[in-house]
Structure 1
Amino acid sequence: MALRTPQKLKLRPLPLFSVFSKLPLSTTPHNNNNNHSDASVADILVSVFTEQPNADTPELNCFAPILTPPLVESVLTRLRTWKLAHSFFHWASNQGFRHTCYTYNSIASILSRSHQTSPLKTLLKQISDSAPCSFTPGALGFLIRCLGHAGLAREAHHLFDEMRLKGLCVPNDYCYNCLLEALSKSGEVDLIEARLEEMKGFGWEFDKFTLTPLLQAYCNARRFDEALRVYNVMREKGWVDGHVCSMLALSFSKWGDVDKAFELVERMEGHGMRLNEKTFCVLIHGFVKEGRVDRALQLFDIMCRVGFTPPVSLFDVLIGGLCRNGDSHRALSLLSEMKEFGVTPDVGIFTKLISAFPDRGVIAKLLEEVPGGEEERTLVLIYNAVLTCYVNDGLMDEACRFLRMMIQSKASGDVQMDGFFNKVKKLVFPNGASFSIVINGLLKNDQLDLALSLFNDMKQFVDRPSVLIYNNLINSLCDSNRLEESRELLREMKESGVEPTHFTYNSIYGCLCKRKDVLGAIDMLKGMRACGHEPWIKNSTLLVKELCDHGMAIEACNFLDSMVQQGFLPDIVSYSAAIGGLIQIQELNRALQLFSDLYSRGHCPDVVASNILMRGLCKAYRVREAEKLLDEIVVKGFFPSVVTYNLLIDSWCKNGSVDKAMALLSRMSGEDREPNVITYSTLVDGFCRAERPDDALLVWNEMERKGCFPNQIAFMALIYGLCKCCRPTTALHYLREMEQKDMKPDSFIYIALISSFLSDMDLASAFEIFKEMVYSGYFPESHDKNYSIVMDAIDKFSKDHRTSSGIQVLMEEGKLPTHCP
């Protein structure tokens, strides 16, 4: 087969011609005496596919007969990118070249190193299905390790079985060890244990390379006990090396067992083994993360002793840990050690130290350590940390003074520094963040006027203040009710080209709402709508509540209507407040209409809104409408709360329809709404009002049976009700039970019992209760409505021979008013 002539090749791109021109012409490519050495052909193919990655020309066909596994391997390994190698691999396949296990492994290695999992998966199908290829055990082991490196452990597991079942490879212990290694990287503990059982079945002895991946898998799976068992076996066999110890030490660190990790490192050192630099760094980071800076420093000393130079990142993490522990002495000592190692501290280390140790002495030492030749940008960051430190400690005078000195450095390089600031080697002009730190500090310390003054100074030096400074100043002005100044700052903000945010507008909007300035709030809503900002719900709700609290519910409703007209949908909380406000000013029908209109406005009234309206209806004795509202709530898919039912039960009880109230109790149980102590207390009171004490006691017993424990109000409701039903003896029983539960009744309970016993002609029992009341300090004042009842009782006690002497004793003790009969 002859190559085309140079004249014809001119029709092809020049790079391809220049490559083929280097190739001696021959019509017998299979001749053993040809001049095509593998090296020269490999050079040509590498050059062709490098210059034309998708080369697919007839001229390349001449190489098809001379492709050999070593030649293909050579070309694959010399191509610069995985895409080029992948393109050449497919080209060779299309030329009829039958790949061997070695060429497959070459492309697999390239794809694995580049983490190209999709092409790798396609390659596996080709190996086992479309173009089956026999593999030696060593070659299969290599391929499996490539898959493991790419995170394709499951695919490796499947390929292993495919190759064995199809007779493409007879795996040996090396193959198994490679598979175990791949599975360990993905934490496939169950698969590893299954493969170990297979190896046992073949009668193979486990070696170091078998147990190492098993140890790795147990460590990754946090199976502490199994990992230690494997480690002990390896130690008995003498297979423990630096890699194994490092693996276990890292795992101990991840598990939070820092002491065991450190002990393992010490044991390694005793056996002449040592960690590599990366493992040292990872362990130190892990120790600090676990809060064990002490062990991290010990490990750091070992690292330095064996000859490693710690990177600046390691100093950073150690100093950060010491800062969190408040150990300024050791942190500064570590900073000095950095000089000895020739490691320059970065700005992050200085800012950590300054922020953590605000003591003036510590800051002075740190400022002395700052290299004089540092860039201005770096120095500003360090000085900003000093400013932050002052602000956090509330030392605003110091912060302002330092900032003024930094500002003066621009006007004159020779700034007079006194006292503490003499430690500063070089002053630099502050940036926007410097001003922000101090201004925000002043705002937090309620020094708004000073913050505004500094802001005006800032505008002379900073082209455009940040939106954050504007927002903080406007918000502080609004919190101080300085509305006009905040609006002026908003205008200035827009003129300077700084775009106000939703926070800016909502700060002013909130101030207007607090002032109950409806017209101003509506104007602000218009401006917010034009800018695409939403008003905060809390501000709108605040305005509605303020208006309603001052009897201006109609104005509140008008405001909500204006919000809708501006394109904003008020929150259901705002509407609930408006409904409550209307009810307060006796506009119940309008509240009902507003509640009904909520559906057309895109809202579904929640249980809170329903309860507000329900309370209004019940208070107005429109109980049937309230019950109808309850049915509507249920129909619309809402679940009434216990409060909802309690409102209706209370209304029915007060109307004398206690049986309807009991029907609601049954309905609650059917809807999985557990009645509470208020529910039962209301029903007890209702039955007593209806002179049905036995039913009241049944409800009481039901309450206790269901584990709802009565409180003071429940006890008093029952006792008072029983007294009104002429059951003083039963009422007294529950008074004693109430007292056993460390609850004290109010004075009206004693008076109810006295009146009930007197009505029952039981003066002795009435007098005993009377004495309890007197000695408990519950004797009513003369303006109390129960005073006359008590005086009548004293009159009866004085006239009865059984109790008159007792009254005389109480009078002598000064327990009764002197004007008593």
Structure 2
Amino acid sequence: MVKEANLLFERMKSSGLCVHNSYSYNCLLEVISKVGDVSLMEYRLHEMKILGLPIDKHALTPVLQCYCNAGNFEKALMIFNEMNEKGWTDQHVLNILVLSYSKAGKVDAAFELIEWMERNLKLNMDQKLFCVLIHGFSRESRLDKALQLYYKMQKLGYMPDISIYDVLIGGLCKNKEIEKALILYTHMQQLGILPDARIVSKLLASVPNERVMIQLLEYRWKSLAEEERNALFFSVLTVFVNDGFIDKAYYLLKVSMAAGMDRDTQEDKIFFVDENLVASCFQTVIDGLCKFDKLDMALDLFYDMDRSGCKRNLLQFNDLIQCLSNGDRLDECFDLLNMMRKSEFQPTHFTFNSIFGCLCRRGDVAGALDMFREMRASGHEPWIKYYTLLVKKLCGQGKAIEARNFLADMTEEGFCPDMIAYSAVMDGFININELNQSLELFEEICKRGYSPDVVAYNIVIKGLCKAYRVNEAEEIFSKMLGKGLVPSVVTHNLLIDAWCKAGDIDRGVLCFSRMKEKNQEPNVITYTSLVDGLCNAGKPDDALKLWSDMERSGCYPNKIAYMALIHGLCKCNEPDVGVVYLQKMEERGILPDAYIFEDLIVAYESKSNIAMAQLISEKKVKCGIVS
């Protein structure tokens, strides 16, 4: 509301109905100071001086605040010195400057001002300022200054609250100054301040050995009822897990279980006697161990749960099976699955699919089929991502036939494979030059009621184009349109490239026009195929015009596009134009392959321009390109 206040102030002044005095100006300055608008503040202060209004303590205090809020400490210090010379410095004025220094991270300057205040003005900070500064100094990792303030605070009789101990102990633990942190912990005991879970956790995470951990907990533990102990214990474990001290959490839980079974040890009686741990503690720590890939420790806790009287739950089984699966520990997955079946829990779709995923990643077709049968018997569906992964893995190894058989077996087991998996198999056949098998599979799934998507059609079109059966590819394209599918840029690129390679540039250009009519933006692959095709057809001028159209459309050529153009221009006996584009490549930091230099050299030699051929040869050597 500063703008509104300033506007109202100006209107009242202009109307002549009200004559502003020092009080009204001081009120406005106070409003301006809150947002740190230095220029407006200085303008109004200058007005006061012109009007001859007194610039007193009430005017300069908001001016000081304004400079501080704006981070202009040089001018703030000038105002402070002026106020001090006139005897206007009080606790409030000092607090403004000290707090501003602290917020800006100027810890030393703030501390020097505090010492000056105590030495020269005999003023002491109030409790609120102590708290703010201790927090501020701690954030800046200046624990030395924060501790000095803490002891000064105690000396003045102020009682630090738990937040002070939290920030100081946390900072000291972070700096590995454990002895100092333990001293503060002792102070808390002496003052009767009960540490919360955050403070306890920070200390426990920093102490060098387990015995000290237990001793630290003794004081806090014995003052709590059993329900409160459970809550504190769970909070400590949670903090450990969240802060990455997973080994500490594991140890505490293990010792707790040992104490629950053996109460003869004095050490156990201190902290753990009669403690009944809840399953949520195990869940928290086991989750953390899995997250940090400490599966052996997680399994150790899981198997020990019975000894502590805690029941396992379904989530724990599933989480561990998933983690074991991700770690390719299949035998242990099945061990847990068998244990699960013997318990009150039944495997879920998540359980089965976690193990199924491991089998698929291994490429274990027989194991995957066995899991299919188990899943079918339990009424669960396999996840698409896993059986598609297996299919792609087989096809990547050149085993497209085995992949097809796997999907056939899957169908026999009562599951209908997704179109994504069939597309992967069709692509696998094409990659091993078995186009006819790919086409047979395509026809088969269409007869079985599947509706191939654009990706599936693109795979078939790619295979036909690769085999130079472009007319058949066009027929598939027409069928695709008849099904109401919208061809992608990839679809058009495949056909354009195929027609260009087949030497039918007119059909390629026709495909390009058809693409533009459908408002599909050509990409650099589209233009590269056409440029290459036009040059091969002896139409370099058309190729260059298309190149200009490409750049105007915002589609920038890449290395392959440049090389296709230069290669084509050389074939058309236009090496001079080719050199222009070679220069453009160099300007963009793109280095062509060796054959481009060879093309240019041959083209110049064919034109008997030996000088240019020699120049290109030298450029090739200079670029460090070896044929």
Q: TM-score range by the shorter chain?
A: 0.5 to 0.7
Relative distance call for 1:159 and 1:738 in structure 2 (3 A) is closer
Identify the residue that residue 92 of structure 2 maps to in structure 1: 243
Q: CA deviation at 1:653?
A: 1.0
Identify the residue that residue 469 of structure 1 maps to in structure 2: 316
In the alignment, does 2:115 pair up with 1:266?
yes
In the alignment, does 2:304 pair up with 1:457?
yes
Identify the residue that residue 138 of structure 1 maps to in structure 2: none
Native 8 Å contact 1:506 1:536 kept in 2:
yes
Q: CA deviation at 1:243?
A: 1.8
Measured in 2, the distance between the counterparts of 1:228 and 1:438 equals 54
In the alignment, does 2:594 pair up with 1:745?
yes
Identify the residue that residue 130 of structure 2 maps to in structure 1: 280
Identify the residue that residue 413 of structure 1 maps to in structure 2: 263
In the alignment, does 2:532 pair up with 1:685?
yes
Identify the residue that residue 168 of structure 2 maps to in structure 1: 318
In the alignment, does 2:214 pair up with 1:353?
no
Measured in 2, the distance between the counterparts of 1:209 and 1:528 equals 80
After superposition, give the CA deviation of every residue in 1:662-715 in whole Å (9 maximum; x if it has no partner).
566788899695743x5554344323433456666776788899895663x567
- Give secondary structure in 1 for the equivalent of 2:134: helix
Measured in 2, the distance between the counterparts of 1:256 and 1:273 equals 23
Identify the residue that residue 494 of structure 2 maps to in structure 1: 647
| Mapping for residues 495-644 of structure 1, pairs under 5 Å | 495=344, 507-508=354-355, 510-511=357-358, 517=368, 520=371, 538-539=385-386, 542=389, 545=392, 551=400, 552=403, 575-576=419-420, 578-585=422-429, 586=435, 587-588=438-439, 615-616=462-463, 618-619=465-466, 620-621=469-470, 622=472, 624=474, 641=489
Measured in 2, the distance between the counterparts of 1:668 and 1:263 equals 74
Native 8 Å contact 1:215 1:230 kept in 2:
yes
Native 8 Å contact 1:177 1:210 kept in 2:
yes
In the alignment, does 2:306 pair up with 1:306?
no
Root mean square deviation, CA, Å? 6.5
Q: CA deviation at 1:320?
A: 1.0
Q: CA deviation at 1:472?
A: 2.5
TM-score of the superposition, structure 2-length normalised? 0.65
Q: CA deviation at 1:485?
A: 3.8
Q: CA deviation at 1:308?
A: 2.3
Measured in 2, the distance between the counterparts of 1:343 and 1:453 equals 37
After superposition, give the CA deviation of every residue in 1:435-492 in whole Å (9 maximum; x if it has no partner).
4576567757878677546434312433433555333222234442345444445556
What is the identity, as a one-letter code, of the residue corresponding to 1:242? Q
Native 8 Å contact 1:384 1:433 kept in 2:
no
Native 8 Å contact 2:221 2:271 kept in 1:
no
After superposition, give the CA deviation of every residue in 1:298-351 in whole Å (9 maximum; x if it has no partner).
433433343323223212111212223344354345445545666554443232
Native 8 Å contact 1:685 1:717 kept in 2:
yes
Percent of counterpart pairs with the same letter? 38
| Mapping for residues 304-453 of structure 1, pairs under 5 Å | 304-338=154-188, 343=193, 345-356=195-206, 359-360=208-209, 364-371=211-218, 374-375=221-222, 377=229, 380=233, 405-415=255-265, 426-428=271-273, 429=275, 431=277, 432=279, 435-436=282-283, 439=286, 451-452=298-299
Relative distance call for 1:717 and 1:243 in structure 2 (3 A) is same
Native 8 Å contact 2:198 2:239 kept in 1:
no
After superposition, give the CA deviation of every residue in 1:195-247 in whole Å (9 maximum; x if it has no partner).
98998898754543455456556656767777667656644543332123223
Native 8 Å contact 1:218 1:227 kept in 2:
yes
What is the identity, as a one-letter code, of the residue corresponding to 2:137? F
Relative distance call for 1:356 and 1:238 in structure 2 (3 A) is same
After superposition, give the CA deviation of every residue in 1:139-175 in whole Å (9 maximum; x if it has no partner).
xxxxxxxxxxxxx9999999999999xxxx9998667
Measured in 1, the distance between the counterparts of 2:42 and 2:447 equals 68
Relative distance call for 1:404 and 1:335 in structure 2 (3 A) is closer
Relative distance call for 1:211 and 1:758 in structure 2 (3 A) is closer
Measured in 2, the distance between the counterparts of 1:501 and 1:742 equals 56
Q: CA deviation at 1:282?
A: 1.9
Native 8 Å contact 2:532 2:565 kept in 1:
yes
- Give secondary structure in 1 for the equivalent of 2:594: coil
Measured in 1, the distance between the counterparts of 2:485 and 2:61 equals 67
- Compare the two structures and name the one with the higher helix fraction: 2
What is the identity, as a one-letter code, of the residue corresponding to 1:328? I
- Give secondary structure in 2 for the equivalent of 1:656: coil
- Give secondary structure in 2 for the equivalent of 1:458: helix
Q: CA deviation at 1:654?
A: 1.1
Alignment gaps of 5+ in structure 2 = 430-434
Relative distance call for 1:589 and 1:393 in structure 2 (3 A) is same
Q: CA deviation at 1:655?
A: 2.3
Q: CA deviation at 1:656?
A: 1.6
Identify the residue that residue 33 of structure 1 maps to in structure 2: none
What is the identity, as a one-letter code, of the residue corresponding to 1:656? G
After superposition, give the CA deviation of every residue in 1:48-88 in whole Å (9 maximum; x if it has no partner).
xxxxxxxxxxxxxxxxxxxxxxxxxxxxxxxxxxxxxxxxx
Native 8 Å contact 1:724 1:756 kept in 2:
no
Relative distance call for 1:547 and 1:226 in structure 2 (3 A) is farther
Identify the residue that residue 432 of structure 2 maps to in structure 1: none
- Give secondary structure in 1 for the equivalent of 2:166: helix
Measured in 2, the distance between the counterparts of 1:535 and 1:243 equals 70
Measured in 2, the distance between the counterparts of 1:245 and 1:501 equals 67
Native 8 Å contact 1:355 1:385 kept in 2:
no
Native 8 Å contact 1:547 1:555 kept in 2:
no
Q: CA deviation at 1:296?
A: 2.5
Measured in 2, the distance between the counterparts of 1:730 and 1:158 equals 67
Q: CA deviation at 1:260?
A: 3.6
- Give secondary structure in 1 for the equivalent of 2:221: coil
Structure with higher RCO (Cα < 8 A, 6+ apart): 2
Alignment gaps of 5+ in structure 1 = 1-151, 780-821
After superposition, give the CA deviation of every residue in 1:726-784 in whole Å (9 maximum; x if it has no partner).
789999999999999765526x9969988998999x9xx99x99xx99xx9999xxxxx
Equivalenced residues, count? 582
Measured in 1, the distance between the counterparts of 2:353 and 2:499 equals 46
Measured in 2, the distance between the counterparts of 1:236 and 1:307 equals 31
| Mapping for residues 33-48 of structure 1, pairs under 5 Å | none
- Give secondary structure in 2 for the equivalent of 1:374: helix
Measured in 2, the distance between the counterparts of 1:350 and 1:648 equals 69
Measured in 2, the distance between the counterparts of 1:595 and 1:201 equals 91
